[in-house]
Structure 1
């Protein structure tokens, strides 16, 4: 290959894309090419390596004794860690005929210390690399904010009334329509504007007659912007003209709304506060539905701004619970108020559901709650249907308040818990796992806490309970394999060459941490909070704690990124990702994350002696 081709090859591989032009040229000029047959040992455990390898063609396995630790393929490199430490911890063997570029250790180490970004990368831990990659990707996505359109923001509905409308009637219209401004149209067709502040400053302070014409307090000379124009242009126009709002038109030159500074600020700050406020003030189902439709905009905005996945999940979870609480208060029969507890479970209960995937909810009734069965079933049916209309899909397992199995009195839930723990079937343990993640979304939370305390009590009385509960993870395999680094389900034709990142990574981590948390009788439901609590009680050490948190965040970040792309392409969101859609570094970090999941799995197998259960 020519120097130009070698330079292009190296530049494609992270973190070598951070090399300066001079450093890149020196890399390329000092590369050699080496060929190896299948099963050739390139580097032995215990050796002092003198080369860094970049794979042009073929596969290389990293082994510890006979166990394959990792796989390296085209456009990947190995083993920088051995070069830095001047000691090879593992053996590297070709899995097929392989061609590599090689770079001497001397040149690599010298340039490593000359380049701060390169040095920082190779001296980071796995958890630090995961964290750094997430921040790097978010910075790239920040540019998306610059192409946001006016229609993407919270555009207030345009309400147009005659110029001669009385001040009193105009004020009533503002209140009725719940808009901050009114547009007025005079006999010549000219548009004027009047705001709520005009009523305060011009009407009240001047003691104007309420029957006077509202046009007298209006303003003219409006600035217009098209709904498909860039949002930053609307912001520029406001700053240029010293105004607080502009009128929005569509492509047919029709007025469709008004956007103000608050809307702009809300959008660039993800307008979380305004949505939360809208939920609190909502008095109708339709108002709640409108507020819920803003959630995806918040998610996209936070994601583009580089906000970490756990914070996005926490924020969206708070909005979801606020929405469900308000829906409950609007629709629930009076008999249930104070005598029931609406709970959300599963990923929603753990505060880890970001995009709306399904409903996992239940209703615990106080034992002395007096409500007719028919009335109760009508309410739970309607509640589920409202959430479906809001964009929360039905749960395929029918884990919803509309299912009588998940709507019962507290003593009946305790009986359920006893049967789940005693029967020890897969379905029983899955139901218990889902319920253990429950949090109160509305109502009397003591009803839920008492049932959870009962779980701890009954579980502790059964010696083999925790082992059977944790054994669920043995049914799930981490998709890390021998060939291209990942294992695919050959029987799944629909998702060929894709990985179920939930089954192969997220679930194992969640269930593993959930098992240890249940054994330690922790009330926390969020996985990261559980990891931190397990660290506090000495179950996991500081380094493993950080690895688990960063691996969990990375897996969820990759899943969210994939599903946002699917939404953009009008595809159904799911748990599948295609590794070919990831860059080289993301593939590497995905493997690192799966290694951490495997490490947790092995800990649980040893801790609970799962091979003997």
Structure 2
């Protein structure tokens, strides 16, 4: 292997991309290449380590008394901790023929103290590693926004009219089509443009006759751009020509729309403010639907710009709430709105839904609500179907307002909660979990608050109830094992060599924190806020709480990243990830996150005495 190839291998392994050119030269000058047979001990337990190993080929198992702790494979390193502590707590044994680069310990330690980024990385806590990796990944993804295409931004519909129509007719068309700009085409094929500002500055200020031809205020010399051109090129063209809009064409040279400066700025600013205003000002279902379709673009833009996962969740959750509130106000009969509370539950209730998932909603009616049952059913059915049209799939468990089970009066919900508590079974515990995560998005918030107070009262001091409620986590295994460090579901061919990151990590953490929160009568629904409140109450130690928060954010971010890639490939989004698609750092942090989840499981097993339930 050439020196150039050696440098490429080293700098591709995180965090060694932070080496200076001279430090990288020092690494390469002092490295040797070694070969190991299968089942050969590379570094013995209790020994004094001599080298840092960079795996070029093969698999290394980290063991303690024959128990496999971790697996290392191509383009991974081991064992930096042993080198720093000058003592090997575990042994490292080849699982197959293996080839490695070796770097002497003294060189590694010397460069470690010279390079601040390396030193920070190898001496930081697990929580700091998780956080810093997110920042590292986001900085890397910042470049993605520079390759955004014109078609990724909002392109206004191209409305082309004849040059002979009047100013009044043109203004009527602009209002009807809801566009800020129209294009004109004369009998020779010459193109013109008229903007909404032309009407203000040329027509109104000059007191023009509305029956004059529109061509009198039109501008010639249109500037065109292809929909597959880079968005930053559109920005350069606008700056170069001193214009605020360009006409967009496709590969067939057909005009497909108009990109203006507002749309361009909105894209780079994530478009949150404009979409929020769009929801507030919407008067029809179609206008709300158009706003909802912008959510994916916002998520992609926020993610590429390095916004942390918890803030993306918060922003999208706020937009979802605004959308549902406005939809409820548009569709609900007037006598219903003041005497009801629309709630969302599940991940949306916790403010952790990012991409559109199944509907989880319910409707609580005040006891003095007198709406006709037929009218109520017609409304709830239309509400559910409209959300389906917006891209929110039906809930497979039918947890939607259109199901009478989840649409009832406050006193009836109290009876339901009483049944859930006093007739414990799997379905009832699931319903409690779903309902505990409920949050009001429209209507009378007091209705859900009163019901949660009733829930807390019924479960008060019932240790048996809390234990049974938490016990579901014992049915889920964290996918950490011996084969390549992870345990895969070999029974499912569709997801062979993949991990269900929700089942094996996110759900256990969410349900575990939910169980502790219910026991402590915490009103917060968001998992991170629950962790913070549990820490304030002394239920969780501060360092462990920090690890839980960072592990939850890392797992959620990994799931989002995977699903955004699936959306780009027109694939169905799900909870599965393939560890082979992760870089070395991500694999390492995934293992660390799963260890934190396991640590929580053990705490809950002890706290709720789950082995005796």
CA contact (8 A) 1:49 1:87 kept: yes
Instruction: Give the alignment of 1:376-387 within 5 angstroms.
Output: 376-387=376-387
TM-score for the superposition, normalised by structure 2? 0.94
Partner residue in 1 for 2:491: 491
* Distance of aligned partners of 1:305 and 1:5 in 2 relative to their CA distance in 1, 3 Å threshold: closer
Q: Whole-Å Cα distance in 1 between the matches of residues 216 and 8 of structure 2?
A: 69
**Match of residue 42 from structure 1:** 43
Deviations 1:373-410 (A, max 9, x none): 11111111111111111111111111111111111111
- The 2-side partners of 1:492 and 1:466 are apart by 33
Point out the more displaced range, 409-418 or 72-81. 72-81
Distance 1:423 1:102 in 2: 62
Contact 2:37 2:94 in 1 (8 A): no
Q: What secondary structure does 1:484 align onto?
A: helix
* Cα separation, 1, equivalents of 2:291 and 2:316: 12
Question: 2:268 matched to which residue of 1?
Answer: 268
| 1:58 maps to 2:59 | yes
Change (3 A) 1:34 1:163: closer
Taking the aligned partners of 1:598 and 1:605, their CA distance within structure 2 comes to 10
Within a 5 Å distance, the mapping from 1:438-587 to structure 2 comes to 438-587=438-587
* Contact 2:174-2:182 at 8 Å conserved across structures: yes
Residue 129 (1) aligns with residue 135 (2): no
Question: Are 2:58 and 2:94, in contact at CA under 8 Å, matched by a contact in 1?
Answer: no
Answer whether contact 1:41 1:91 (CA < 8 A) is retained: no
Corresponding residue for residue 353 of structure 1: 353
Question: 1:586: how far off?
Answer: 1.0
Instruction: State the match for 2:594 in structure 1.
Output: 594
Give the corresponding residue for 1:412.
412
The unaligned stretches of length 5 or more in structure 2 are none
1:34 & 1:247 partners in 2: Cα distance?
Answer: 61
Q: Is the 8 A contact 1:153 1:263 kept in 2?
A: yes
- Residues 425 and 39 from structure 1, CA distance in 2 versus in 1: closer, same or farther, beyond 3 angstroms? farther
- Give CA deviations for 1:202-225 in whole Å, capped at 9, x if unaligned: 222223333333332222222122
Superposition map of 1:84-483 within 5 A: 84-88=84-88, 90-94=89-93, 96=95, 99=98, 101-483=101-483
Quote how far apart the aligned CAs of 1:453 are. 0.9
Question: How many pairs are equivalent?
Answer: 610
- 1:479 alignment partner, SS class: coil
Question: Shift of the alpha carbon at 1:237?
Answer: 1.3
- Partners of 1:92 and 1:222 in 2: how far apart? 71
Q: CA deviation at 1:130?
A: 1.4
Out of 143-152 and 47-56, give the one that drifted further. 47-56
Instruction: Give, in angstroms, the shift of residue 346 of structure 1.
Output: 0.4
1:3 Cα deviation from its structure 2 partner: 6.5
Answer with 490-499 or 22-31: which moved more: 22-31
| C-alpha distance in structure 2 between counterparts of 1:308 and 1:479, whole Å | 25
TM-score (norm: length of structure 1): 0.94
- Mapped partners of 1:249, 1:4: distance in 2: 44
SS of the residue corresponding to residue 184 of structure 1 reads strand
**1:517 and 1:534 in contact (8 A); partners too:** yes
Q: Equivalent residues in 2 for 1:69-80 (5 A)?
A: 69-80=69-80
1:420 and 1:186, CA in 2 relative to 1: closer, same or farther beyond 3 A?
Answer: same
Seen in structure 2, the aligned counterparts of structure 1 residues 169 and 12 have a Cα distance that, compared at 3 Å, is: closer
- Corresponding residue SS for 1:315: helix
Deviations 1:51-96 (A, max 9, x none): 3344443332243x786543334433222123223445x3225374
Question: Contact 2:41 / 2:93 at 8 angstroms: preserved in 1?
Answer: yes
Deviations 1:176-220 (A, max 9, x none): 222112223344432222222222222222233333333322222
Larger deviation, residues 299-308 vs 477-486: 299-308
Change (3 A) 1:68 1:426: farther
The CA deviation string for residues 406-460 of structure 1, in whole angstroms up to 9 with x for no partner, is 1111111111111112222121111111111111111111111111111111111
The 1:434/1:139 distance shift into structure 2, 3 A limit, reads same
SS of the aligned residue for 2:192 comes to: strand
Change (3 A) 1:25 1:598: same
Unaligned runs of 5+ in 1: none
Distance 1:97 1:222, change over 3 A: closer
Provide the secondary structure at the position in 1 that maps to 2:182.
strand
Residue in 2 aligned with 1:606? 606
Offset from partner CA, 1:491-526 (integer Å, 9 cap, x none): 222211110000000101111111111111111111
Residues 1:211 and 1:6: Cα distance change in structure 2 (over 3 Å) = closer
